[in-house]
Each structure stands twice: as structure tokens, then as C-alpha cells.
Amino acid sequence: MTDYSFQQLGKAVLKTEAEAVLALVDRIDIQFQQACELILNCNGRIVVTGMGKSGHIGNKIAATLASTGTPAFFMHPGEASHGDLGMITAKDCVIALSNSGETAEITTLLPLLKRMAIPLISLTGKSQSTLARAANFNLDVGVEKEACPLGLAPTSSTTASLAMGDALAIALLEARGFTEQDFALSHPGGALGRRLLLRVSDIMHSGDEIPLVSINATLKDALLEMTRKSLGMTGIIDPDSNKLAGIFTDGDLRRTLDKATDFQSALIEDFMTANCLTISAESIASEALNIMHEKKINALMVVDEQQLVQGALNMHDLLRAGVV
């Protein structure tokens, strides 16, 4: 075998599997629509089952459904006939995967599902199989050939089943009006969850950690406060109203160094950035990130509707929280 042979074989596999998936497009028909409607109207959960490689694909389909707004879980068909069938309730719906449609562990369950009046959707490669005929709706995932040159290892057939499962999940996602925020609620530990669920109040510095000086303070006072609080900036407060009057940052300091300035006596009011950008504590943390990127700044003061300071945060806080 040469390197070229490996490359050619790899390309042949991908081409065969891609053709198998594309062939499914013409099979999205009334059966698919009715299967979607059945799942959408199900008051219970979607129980996905399959044996062997079909089981692995079924497990992934169940996970995709669950994470996109359709409560679902995987049930091993071998264990189902030994007690796990008790997981299914009268309100549930079953999706069964079997390329042959004759998998013994699956067909054994069919009379029991019928007796319980459980709606059944099948994904099979043979529309006249036992499973397909027993199902309320059968989705044809048959393939012309497996990518395996021996025609034995499930390859194209499992890819086709996985793609059909994704088609179901995404069609249902759209029908439910599922949003990014909904997705984040089921993925709180992921990057998307952090980006969409984490609020500014969760990561901002508050209380004594907020760098603040009076508008009457000197540049020296401001620099000392910035050094103590280590956020690369300080907020400037109007002592009469207690409202935020401006901000002084490391960037402002560098610009100030270009001038002949007496840091001991110069007032911060003359060097601060007035009417500075701010954010509310209830804002999503990713909004703070967007502001910083867009305006090319590294820190924000957090204020309420009356411009009273509630906190402060910088880019490092967003990095530590995994928002970036």
C-alpha cells in the first residue's frame, strides 16, 4: 500500500457515504412530515433504541434531540426485554433503528409496544421489513452500498441513519422555535452556555474591589487607586451626586505621559474620559466582550440606570470566565 492508495481509499469512502446521504433528500416525504408531527405532539419523551452500530447512532440521535428541545433518551433493546422496558410510559414515543429491520432484539419488543399503544417510528434500510411494517411511520435510510469494500461493516448505512436523525432533530428545533438561549440552558458547562448565560454581575468586581476616586482627586491619587485594585483603570465619581463622571485607564495614562504633567497637583478631571462607555450588571457577559472588541478598550464600569457605580470588569475577567 502506498500513501497514494490510502488517500484514494479515504476519498472513495467519503464519496460513497456522501452519495448515501444525498440520496436521502428525495425520501423526505409525507412519512418524514408525519413522523415530525408525531414527535412534536408527543406529551412524553422520545425513546430511541437500536442494536450494535445502530445503537451507537441511536444514542447520538437521542442526545441531539435532547439538546435541541425534544426530551429523549436511549434504551438498549437487549436490556429492554429484561426490565428496561419499564422506562417507557404511555405518553412516550419510540424511534427504532435497524438497517435490516429484522434485528431480533428490536422485533422482540414490537408486540409489547403495540400492546402498550406506544407510537413507533422506524429508521430502516428495508421498507418491507418486520420493523418497517410494524411502525406508524418508516423513514427509509437504505443505501446502495456500504463504504466497506467487503460490504460488511456498517458505514454508509450508519451515516445515513445519523443524517436522518439530524434532519428530524433540526426540523423539530425549527418547529419549536428553539433559540440559542434555549440551547445554552441545556449546555451550561459549554462555551456557548458561558457565552449566553453568564451575566456581568457574575464576574464583575464589586464593593471594595471597585477602583474609584473623586473627580477632585489628583492624578497621583488615581494612579495609586489603579495600582491597589489592579484592573488597569479607575472610575471617577462626582461627589455631589455619587454618579459616575468618567474613567481613567492605562491607555489614558500613556497619553498623559506624552505631556508635561505634574502628577502631584494635576486633577484627574482634566485627563479622564468623560461620558465613558458603561454596561449594566444584568447584561450578558458576551455583550461586554463585544463592546470591548468593537471600541478597542479593555475595561468597563458597571452602572445602574441612575449611573451609580455597581462594579467594574476588564478583559482578563472575561478570559477567566471563559467568555472569550
Average confidence (pLDDT) over 259-285: 89
124 burial via Cβ count (<10 Å: 0-12, 13-18, 19+): buried
Mapped onto helix, strand or coil, the DSSP state of residue 300 is strand
Band of residue 183 on the pLDDT scale cut at 50, 70, 90:
low
At 181, the pLDDT band (50, 70, 90 cuts) reads low
* Statement: residue 189 has pLDDT above 60: no
- Per-residue pLDDT, 171: 95
- Edge to edge, the sheet with strand 93-98 lists 72-74, 46-50, 93-98, 120-124, 137-140
> Which has the minimum average pLDDT: 33-37, 98-102, 293-297?
293-297
d(CA 123, CA 100): 10
pLDDT at 5 over 60: yes
Is the pLDDT reported for residue 119 higher than 90?
Answer: yes
- For residue 106, the one-letter residue type is I
Checking if the pLDDT of 266 tops 80, the result is yes
pLDDT level of residue 160 (50, 70, 90 thresholds) = very high
Edge-to-edge strands of the sheet including 299-303? 278-279, 299-303, 309-314
Residue 184's pLDDT band (boundaries 50, 70, 90)?
low
Kindly indicate the confidence band of residue 2, based on its pLDDT and cuts at 50, 70 and 90: low
pTM above 0.75, yes or no: no
Q: What is the pLDDT of residue 214?
A: 95
Please give the pLDDT value at position 148: 86
Q: How far apart are CA 256 and CA 223, in angstroms?
A: 12
Domains (range + CATH), the chain = 3-178 (3.40.50.10490), 200-320 (3.10.580.10)
Over pLDDT 90: what percentage of the chain? 73
Is the pLDDT at 186 greater than 70? The verdict is no
Position 247, amino acid? I
**Mean per-residue pLDDT for 92-117?**
95
